[in-house]
Structure 1
């Protein structure tokens, strides 16, 4: 408030100076004389008019500035909240990975940019037994450990999603068949190395079966899923804790 009074006072003084200069210039030129009353009017009127008017103007400008800042802050908060909602809507609450819909949408978008890559489907072995023997909370702990192991096994640019209860998807962007096999085996090994001890000191083994297929030119997401599902079925029937990655979508149709 003090700053406003000072600024408006300076404006009033400038108005007084302008009024005096104008009176001392124009009135004599018109044959008049600037007497004491005229001089006082040249001083008092600007003070009575310019000072409160400029103070009001400065005050309103300050309020507008504060309002604009608050509006900008509110807009930034709304934008941040919107991003959080979008992120929450597209990610699995427990693992933080993409949910099923977002994973396949990202996979579809990536496929439009390049035909290269591989799709892996990763399924936890004997997971129902963990839920039945130790409860779903313990099962959730196991899933989090498996999800962390999967993250360690993939590369930074790969797309991860939780596509089922204990089933995960990984799209290895631009990966060749040899690279996809190496990454799938690395994921399998990372999970196998986890030491899960939910109760006492007994270690419960965690393993996954992985089925993968290499992206063929023009292959649809549905075709890739069928191919990866077929390899996963083979891994499960082969004794579990296996990673099978092959190309050839025709055999999966």
Structure 2
């Protein structure tokens, strides 16, 4: 491929198309698809490195021609963050090579060249792009990659900034609705997919053991008294440190929001309620024992609920967690309660309108 293979108007059109996207995960997948089309490769992957530098999240885009008799069609397989995996040895070696030589990693294997290209953020490797070519990477192809990554990096920085809370760096409230709706749709579609035809019109009941997501609202106890006693500067310091502990306690792909004031929301994957409870209780204990400058200690109250196909409306999910939070705040504070457990024990009634949060 030469520079003439991909003209400037074509590249600009791709960039215009990319920069109309406001969803970061969709943006990343579209970037992979655009690179695959411009480089004329069937498959391209991105290994997004976690801060621990031990695990990563894998994204992949593939497009292959399938022949069915006389028909030829393009089949696209798109996956976003399919799983969190241990960084493969080859990616680890490529990372070391790039850090040492400041050049992409290129390795000939099975008559094809494996290319592993770094994606930088603040002069640090954030992700590794991988694809195969039947030839050495040309100057024209390198220009395509570097140009696209440079411009899209700047755009993503702006996109990140618009979606982040300015004080804590967590996701802001405006991004909540899109994220919760995406997860709700994912779960609902997965549960509907569990119904399978057995004999024409007959369907099986859903299998048990469906994986779940958990939503929790975290509220700092007596935060007003902290501001009154120590001032708003120290109050902001508490918010910053609490958000720091959140980032340390939860995984990099968990969704962490500052919802307003002293209230935070977290959405994370959990195989069951017991696992979700353990994760949140560990965080509550961590905050209880954390030493905040001047203030010494603070506590948080947490209300949580599981996201399922039976409860998939954003306002309803939030309302259930808020009802559990209200119970925690009015029964001693520094507690974690799940809506489902409170409901089963008769401590609360199932009132869908009980959520006190003004949802948008």
Give the alignment's TM-score, normalised by structure 1.
Answer: 0.65
Consecutive unaligned residues in structure 1, runs of 5 or more: 1-68
Q: How does 1:30-109 map to 2 (within 5 A)?
A: 77-109=150-182
Instruction: Verify the 8 A CA contact 1:152 1:187 in the aligned structure 2.
Output: no
- In the TM superposition, what is the alpha-carbon distance from 1:147 to its structure 2 partner? 1.2
Matched, 1:123 2:219: yes
Matched, 1:251 2:350: yes
Match of 1:221? 314
- In the TM superposition, what is the alpha-carbon distance from 1:156 to its structure 2 partner? 3.7
Q: Which region of structure 1 is more displaced relative to structure 2, 238-247 or 69-78?
A: 69-78
Mapped partners of 1:190, 1:137: distance in 2: 23
- In the TM superposition, what is the alpha-carbon distance from 1:80 to its structure 2 partner? 2.5
Q: How does 1:70-219 map to 2 (within 5 A)?
A: 77-115=150-188, 116-198=212-294, 203-219=295-311
Mapped partners of 1:77, 1:215: distance in 2: 38
Q: Which has the higher strand share?
A: 2
Q: CA 1:151/1:73 → structure 2, altered by over 3 Å: closer, same or farther?
A: closer
- In the TM superposition, what is the alpha-carbon distance from 1:184 to its structure 2 partner? 1.4
Mapped partners of 1:124, 1:192: distance in 2: 11
Q: CA 1:98/1:149 → structure 2, altered by over 3 Å: closer, same or farther?
A: same
Instruction: Verify the 8 A CA contact 1:152 1:190 in the aligned structure 2.
Output: no
- In the TM superposition, what is the alpha-carbon distance from 1:139 to its structure 2 partner? 0.7
SS class of match (1:197): coil
Mapped partners of 2:278, 2:306: distance in 1: 13
Mapped partners of 2:177, 2:282: distance in 1: 23
SS class of match (1:93): coil
- In the TM superposition, what is the alpha-carbon distance from 1:250 to its structure 2 partner? 7.0
SS class of match (2:170): coil
Deviations 1:199-248 (A, max 9, x none): xxxx5321100000112324211111110000000000111110101326
Instruction: Verify the 8 A CA contact 1:157 1:173 in the aligned structure 2.
Output: no
Match of 1:46? none
Greater radius of gyration (CA): 1
Q: Which has the higher helix share?
A: 1
RMSD: 2.7
Instruction: Verify the 8 A CA contact 1:103 1:160 in the aligned structure 2.
Output: no
Q: For this pair of structures, how many residues does the alignment match? A: 184
- In the TM superposition, what is the alpha-carbon distance from 1:93 to its structure 2 partner? 1.4
